[in-house]
């Protein structure tokens, strides 16, 4: 049976959480494979809203939920999120939730460094979520990280902690900060260790068993392809690979396991944080998109920048990430516009480009070329079938799929779980 990999095809916040939640009831396991609690995935079920940052969105339907090795895990954020969801009536235990024992940890010193660097960068700052994501991935790749499995061996952590602190103390010194308080760090780890360890296991083995039983696995990406550390708008990106291929490496399954790649695509474009954004609108249309779409960050509460749909970017993302089909979300936000615009190419120094160039300065200079379409009079909000959509909205969807060279598999018409139109089932494709 097919597995499905969900990834964001823009700059994040495309509505991945809603779609994963919708698909989760038909999956046997949901796996996060990269990122950390920089993600903010919102699920609306009836009159209850769930906001997840670290926990896979499958946890709300009670589906086996797994944090893969590619995730950077903040133990204290994990505990707080589990407590918050438990208070909302979600059951989370060692039966339905597992954490890879080889996950790298985010420690308070990572959050410190994230903040120190951003403060020092002034106008050049990335606009990170301040969660310590970048510094934690640096330590992982630098072979200095403390990992989940180390929590079971804290008495032997001395030499590892020496290496880690030597690195951070030098950086902190440069920022005029005190060295890391090793004793209090070790005490904090001692206090939280058993809590994390109750869920820790070699999840690659668990997933192997799930796969052997012919069960369906749903991989849940965080962020979006344009925030990918290789393929995104570097350096204004996150510190992980957000493309579909990471689902395999970040969970411990082979590349053939990723199955149908479902790219989540917002019907317009948003971005939170700094960096180039060719179709950004700083006029009343951008403001209207932001208000109608409630475009405020789930994690930091920051206002998201808004603009028209950019078909060049999404075509590039779909190609880079091998997207099989897309879920087009937030179509309802475009209801009531007299005209809607789609970016179909860029102008740069008298040339026409059909892709986003790699250099940040060029990315900031490209001028969007727009195609204009008539908007639709009726409403798409809450539509649950193709027949409920105004003819002009269908034309918009068809034009989008033509320009991005990728078919539409799902359409989402409100935050609510059931306000979703299934065009092509990713699990049986
Ligand atoms: P994610 O990070 O990709 O999971 O997306 P977020 O949850 O950060 O942001 C998407 C926001 O849009 C959330 O508040 C969702 O509840 C909401 N949303 C998702 N799909 C739709 C939709 O089709 N229409 C509207 N109006 N809102 C949606
Ligand atoms: P979800 O999963 C939108 C952005 C930050 C910043 C950059 C680097 O909800 O789509 P980081 O803290 O990762 O070092 O910040 O990436 N960013 C996101 N933007 N959605 C997200 O996640 C994001 N996660 C990180 O705003 O520009
Ligand atoms: Mg989000």
pLDDT-derived band of residue 214, with 50, 70 and 90 as boundaries? confident
Ligand 2: centre distance to CA 345 (Å): 26
Is CATH 2.60.40.10 what the domain over 4-100+199-260 is classified as, yes or no?
no
What does the block give as tokens for 13?
A: 């916040």
pLDDT-derived band of residue 46, with 50, 70 and 90 as boundaries? very high
Q: Which atom of ligand 1 is nearest to the CA of 42?
A: 7
For the beta carbon of residue 331, count every other beta carbon within 10 angstroms: 24
DSSP, collapsed to helix, strand or coil, labels residue 39 as coil
Q: What is the pLDDT of residues 195-204, one digit of tens each?
A: 999 999 999 9
Could you give the percent of the chain with pLDDT greater than 70?
100
Question: Does position 1 have pLDDT exceeding 60, yes or no?
Answer: no
Question: Does position 102 have pLDDT exceeding 80, yes or no?
Answer: yes
Indicate which residue's Cα is closest to atom 9 of ligand 1: 13
Ligand 3: centre distance to CA 128 (Å): 13
Q: What number of H helices and E strands is found in the chain?
A: 12, 20
Q: Counting ligands in written order, which one lies closest to the CA of residue 17?
A: 1
From-to residues of CATH 3.90.170.10 in the chain: 265-422
Q: Counting ligands in written order, which one lies closest to the CA of residue 410?
A: 1
Indicate which residue's Cα is closest to atom 11 of ligand 2: 128
Residue 97, strand partner residues:
65
Q: What is the pLDDT of residues 104-129, one digit of tens each?
A: 999 999 999 999 999 999 989 999 99
DSSP, collapsed to helix, strand or coil, labels residue 43 as strand
Indicate which residue's Cα is closest to atom 14 of ligand 1: 42
Catalytic residues: 13, 41
Q: What is the pLDDT of residues 340-366, one digit of tens each?
A: 999 999 999 999 999 999 999 999 999
Separation of CA 362 from chain center: 25
pLDDT-derived band of residue 223, with 50, 70 and 90 as boundaries? very high
Distances (CA, A) of 253 to 95, 276, 337: 21, 34, 45
Ligand 3: centre distance to CA 30 (Å): 17
d(CA 353, CA 331): 27
Is CATH 3.90.170.10 what the domain over 265-422 is classified as, yes or no?
yes
From-to residues of CATH 3.40.440.10 in the chain: 4-100+199-260
CATH number of 104-196: 1.10.300.10
- 3-state SS, one letter per residue, for 49-106: EEEECCCCHHHHHCCEEEECCCEEECHHHHHHHHHHHHHCCCCCCCCCEEEECCCEEC
Q: Which atom of ligand 2 is nearest to the CA of 133?
A: 14
DSSP 378-402: S--TT--SGGGS-HHHHHHHHHHHH
Query: Does residue 40 line the site of ligand 1, with CB under 6 A?
Result: yes
DSSP, collapsed to helix, strand or coil, labels residue 252 as coil
d(CA 22, CA 312): 28
Q: What is the pLDDT of residues 75-101, one digit of tens each?
A: 999 999 999 999 999 999 999 999 999
Ligand 2: centre distance to CA 11 (Å): 8
pLDDT-derived band of residue 299, with 50, 70 and 90 as boundaries? confident
Report pTM. 0.97
Could you give the percent of the chain with pLDDT greater than 90?
96
Pairing of strands 4-8, 260-266: parallel
Instruction: Tell me how many degrees the CA angle 165-170-172 measures, rounded to the nearest 5.
Output: 90
Distances (CA, A) of 225 to 6, 25, 138, 186, 246: 11, 26, 20, 36, 11
Pairing of strands 41-45, 269-271: unpaired
CB 210 within 8 A of CB 29: yes
- Who's near 138: CB < 8 A, 6+ residues apart? 239
Q: Which atom of ligand 2 is nearest to the CA of 134?
A: 14
d(CA 65, CA 217): 10
pLDDT-derived band of residue 297, with 50, 70 and 90 as boundaries? confident
Question: Higher confidence at residue 73 or residue 211?
Answer: 73
| Residue (of 170, 141, 148, 146) closest to 159 by Cα position | 146
Strand residue runs (E) in 272-407: 305-307, 309-310, 325-329, 339-348, 351-353, 367-374
């Amino acid at each position: 049976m097919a597995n499905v990999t969900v990834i964001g095809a823009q700059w994040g916040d495309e509505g991945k959480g809603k779609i994963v939640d919708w698909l989760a009831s038909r999956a046997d396991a949901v796996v996060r494979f990269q990122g950390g609690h920089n993600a903010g995935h919102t699920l609306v079920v009836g009159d209850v809203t769930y906001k997840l940052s670290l926990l896979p969105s499958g946890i709300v339907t009670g589906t086996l939920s797994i944090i893969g090795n590619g995730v950077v895990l903040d133990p204290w954020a994990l505990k707080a999120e589990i407590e918050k969801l438990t208070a909302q009536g979600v059951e989370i235990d060692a039966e339905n939730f597992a954490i890879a024992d080889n996950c790298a940890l985010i420690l308070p010193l990572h959050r410190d460094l994230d903040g120190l660097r951003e403060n020092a960068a002034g106008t050049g700052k990335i606009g990170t979520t301040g969660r310590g994501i970048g510094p934690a991935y640096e330590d992982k790749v630098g072979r200095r990280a403390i990992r989940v499995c180390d929590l079971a061996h804290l008495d032997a952590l001395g030499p590892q902690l020496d290496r880690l602190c030597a690195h951070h103390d030098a950086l902190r010194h440069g920022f005029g900060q005190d060295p890391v308080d090793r004793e209090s760090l070790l005490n904090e780890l001692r206090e939280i260790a058993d809590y994390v360890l109750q869920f820790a296991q070699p999840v690659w083995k668990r997933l192997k068993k799930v796969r052997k039983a012919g069960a369906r696995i749903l991989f849940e990406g965080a962020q979006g392809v344009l925030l990918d550390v290789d393929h995104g708008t570097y350096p204004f990106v996150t510190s992980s690979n957000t493309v579909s291929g990471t689902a395999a490496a970040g969970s411990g399954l082979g590349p053939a396991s990723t199955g149908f790649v479902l790219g989540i695509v917002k019907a317009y474009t948003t971005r939170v944080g700094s960096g180039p954004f060719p179709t950004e609108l700083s006029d009343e249309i951008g403001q209207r998109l932001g208000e109608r779409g409630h475009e405020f960050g789930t994690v930091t509460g920051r206002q998201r920048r808004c603009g028209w749909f950019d078909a060049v970017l999404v075509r590039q993302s779909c190609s880079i990430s091998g997207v099989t089909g897309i879920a087009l979300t937030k179509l309802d936000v475009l209801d009531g516009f007299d005209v809607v615009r789609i970016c179909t190419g860029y102008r740069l120094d008298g040339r026409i480009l059909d892709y986003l160039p790699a250099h940040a300065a060029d990315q900031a200079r490209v001028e969007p070329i727009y195609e204009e379409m008539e908007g639709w009079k009726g409403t798409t909000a809450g539509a649950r079938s193709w027949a409920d959509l105004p003819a002009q909205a269908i034309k918009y969807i068809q034009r989008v799929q033509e320009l991005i060279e990728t078919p539409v598999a799902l359409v989402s018409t409100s935050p609510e779980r059931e306000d979703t139109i299934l065009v092509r089932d990713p699990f049986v494709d």
